[in-house]
Amino acid sequence: MSLKVCLQAGEKQQMWHTKLQIAIIEKNVQEIDMLVSQMPTFETQEQMESAASLIKEALKVLQQMKNETGETLQKLRQHKDFLASTQNQAPNTLDIIS
């Protein structure tokens, strides 16, 4: 492999690594998904371990976001139920006391 091709591959791997770090920090799910699906080929054990570490971190972030979304949905359902229970009930048409 020529030196130029090696440098290009190394630059591509470094760019991928940097972009994934940024996507993790920004919690950008779409970018994480795209980067993981387009993962470059790594040439050294160190590069593979670094990529694996970043992917583990991305999984933690995605799991945290999933949990937060679930909690938010639960709170919204509780608020919806509360609002529904506090709305004025329509009077019964057979209510002779009113």
Residue 92 has pLDDT above 80, yes or no: no
User: Are 39 and 15 a contacting pair, CB within 8 Å?
Assistant: no
User: Are 16 and 39 a contacting pair, CB within 8 Å?
Assistant: yes
Where do the H-state alpha helices sit in the chain? 3-26, 29-37, 45-86
Cα 38 from Cα 31, distance rounded (Å): 10
Percent of the chain having pLDDT more than 90? 63
* Residue-range domain boundaries for the chain: 1-59
pLDDT digits (tens, 9 = 90+) for 45-83: 999 999 999 999 999 999 999 999 999 999 999 999 888
